[in-house]
Structure 1
């Protein structure tokens, strides 16, 4: 039996490749370091640099695998991609938590998404004949478990934490609203007891914005009570005011009666004196002594003014005196006015005569000064006086010819 030597398996695959320097001395991929830095920065800036790191990582890893050993840096590139995924997931989960903590539906949607994703991965991994979506999810979890499982766990945690936070915040707000409702109701009741209805309504309005359920019904009942008590208080205040007015009117009537009695007694006491002064005023008017008549008549009027506004004024004795004063007053006033005008005319004549006398004295003084000036002699420049020349001359020719000329007049 002849044994036929068979070619080694490599002989059937073709000639061995020729080794190159790049194959013998591989070098790091040029973008692996950049990819790592992007992934590290994504831990700070989140998706802003995490998404570029993931996309660049896919390209870099594909080039490293297809380079047939010319490029290294596979571990560095995978670490950069992992950091990019981690930064993107962390920031996305934080954003979902912040939104879910303020909106309960969003928190429930995130929690539901986490449950659905977890069930999809679990069903795909446990069932061989799972539908395509479940199988794809299981395959993705096997290829990148460091991406899928943290994402599912993060969605579950963030959704649950956001839901719990929102419920806690709502409960805190509810307790605060309940406390504010109780405080406003308490303040309203205190204001109602103090009959401060405006402040009670203000507190009830504040309570209406915070109270719910039975407390809101109590607020409505208290508002009705406030209206009722305010009507009662207004009615009671009106009754008290009417009573005070009636009491004041009664006191005024008593005071008026007492004042009328005092006025009647006073008039009875001063009536003879008023009649005498009126008689004096009439006699002085008859004698045309108008100023004396005016003085007596003013005393009568001053005395009668005390009884104006009283029943004494309407009585016959006082009315008769007032009538006599009314008849006598025009004549007295006319006579006083005539005296005033006559005095003013005399005063004007006196001032005119005085002004005329002062004018004559001024003219005489001016004439005497002119005569004195005319009698003054001319003074020569050597200090002597001219024996023949006077200052009143219109021309000083020939004066002081031998004495240095004319320098002025005699002082």
Structure 2
């Protein structure tokens, strides 16, 4: 609220009592600035930046200072500076309040309409109070306040009207943008859901449809999304049923293929069994002869021959392992004979191998001893040959009496230049 201006003329002082005239006050002769006028001015200036934090103290202090200056009967000066600080504080508070109302109105349409309505009501109240005689007291008070402080009342009304209208328009624009964005998001979600449905991605289609339900604001779009979701459920059931049928058909084909392969394998096995029976009938006499030969050679302790015959019999019998022929009486008897002979034959072969190794070792020792004796004989013959050679003198003649095997050549080749070597 704006403070009312003090009257232009100070009130008349009361009549002086009869008697001698009082002595005039020195304060009235020498006026001074009000002590708080400078503080009030600084608060008003600060309100331009700090808003209500400095504006409200400036308004409260301004009312007090202006009242004291008006009642001081000229003792205080600085009314203009104090009034300027008061009005700056009022303006700063008003501007920040209007900005706050605009921010709130831009976020809430009812608030913006309420601010606009407050401005309209205040303007109508002032107009009615000014133009209608005998107007109600609130209207008359509003008109009187507007005449006393037009610098504060009219800007406040204009600010309420502008802030309310601007906030309402801003909110409408934001709502329209949100509606357009939601419509675009709705269309995109429905399009993505349709593509996912065509691709049989049912979970992805449901996700896009949930997004469509949160973004679509029109009833037709919501109904279309609901129909699409029902279509998703129906197609998913069809896809599940189709996959089940395909899986059942695949398993049936696999069973038929397995049965065919099993029958083919049984046929091949039967063919192998027949071929093995015919083959065994042909080779059984030869296998029996090999077993008999192995047994006879083992009796004769001809272990190598016994092992060779037994190995041939085993190799021939291995051809029939895993077949019904192996379980026949004749094949089982042959296998039993092979198994019975194998340990004795292996032991005999091992004994023969060790005996051969021992003989080979002895032969190598005898050979080494013979070579050593031969080397010693060669060395002794060489020594005897060297001992029978004559001494060769330095003049090229041979000594007639000195041999190379002598321990000392003293007196040899004394007339022929000395000893220079042995005879070549």
Q: TM-score, normalised by structure 1?
A: 0.68
| 1:184 counterpart residue number | 189
Question: Would you say the 8 A contact 1:35–1:80 is kept in 2?
Answer: yes
Which residue, out of 238, 246, 250, partners 1:240?
246
| 1:95 counterpart residue number | 100
| 1:110 counterpart residue number | 115
- What SS does structure 2 have at the residue aligned with 1:209? helix
Question: Would you say the 8 A contact 1:187–1:200 is kept in 2?
Answer: yes
Q: Would you say 1:53 and 2:37 are equivalent positions?
A: no
| 2:143 counterpart residue number | 138
Q: CA deviation at 1:101?
A: 1.4
Q: CA deviation at 1:276?
A: 5.8
Question: Would you say the 8 A contact 2:277–2:325 is kept in 1?
Answer: no
Question: Would you say the 8 A contact 1:97–1:158 is kept in 2?
Answer: yes
C-alpha spacing 1:189/1:302, structure 2 compared with 1 (3 Å): farther
Question: Would you say the 8 A contact 2:101–2:163 is kept in 1?
Answer: yes
C-alpha spacing 1:164/1:299, structure 2 compared with 1 (3 Å): farther
Q: CA deviation at 1:332?
A: 5.6
Q: Deviations over 1:354-405 (max 9, x none)?
A: xxxxxxxxxxxxxxxxxxxxxxxxxxxxxxxxxxxxxxxxxxxxxxxxxxxx
- What SS does structure 1 have at the residue aligned with 2:195? helix
- What SS does structure 1 have at the residue aligned with 2:204? helix
C-alpha spacing 1:62/1:343, structure 2 compared with 1 (3 Å): farther
| 2:224 counterpart residue number | 218
Q: Distance in 2 between matches of 1:345 and 1:68?
A: 151
Which residue, out of 162, 169, 174, partners 2:167?
162
* Corresponding residue pairs, total: 330
Q: CA deviation at 1:254?
A: 4.5
Q: CA deviation at 1:292?
A: 6.6
- What SS does structure 1 have at the residue aligned with 2:102? helix
Q: Distance in 1 between matches of 2:332 and 2:215?
A: 79
Q: Distance in 1 between matches of 2:81 and 2:94?
A: 20
Q: Would you say 1:173 and 2:165 are equivalent positions?
A: no
C-alpha spacing 1:320/1:71, structure 2 compared with 1 (3 Å): same
Q: Deviations over 1:323-374 (max 9, x none)?
A: 4456766776576578889999999xxxxxxxxxxxxxxxxxxxxxxxxxxx
Q: Distance in 2 between matches of 1:220 and 1:17?
A: 98
Q: Deviations over 1:26-65 (max 9, x none)?
A: 2222211111110111111111111100111111112212
Q: CA deviation at 1:120?
A: 2.0
C-alpha spacing 1:302/1:99, structure 2 compared with 1 (3 Å): farther
Q: Distance in 2 between matches of 1:179 and 1:131?
A: 55
C-alpha spacing 1:267/1:146, structure 2 compared with 1 (3 Å): same
Q: Distance in 2 between matches of 1:290 and 1:282?
A: 15
Question: Would you say the 8 A contact 2:290–2:310 is kept in 1?
Answer: yes
Q: Would you say 1:231 and 2:237 are equivalent positions?
A: yes
Q: How does 1:350-365 map to 2 (within 5 A)?
A: none
Q: Deviations over 1:136-162 (max 9, x none)?
A: 222222222222222222222222222
Moved more, 122-131 or 265-274: 265-274
> Is there any run of 5+ residues in structure 2 with no aligned partner, and where?
1-12, 299-305, 354-424
Q: Distance in 2 between matches of 1:144 and 1:227?
A: 72
Q: CA deviation at 1:274?
A: 4.0
C-alpha spacing 1:89/1:270, structure 2 compared with 1 (3 Å): same
**Cα RMSD (Å):** 3.7
Q: Deviations over 1:171-192 (max 9, x none)?
A: 2111111111110100111111
Moved more, 244-253 or 278-287: 278-287
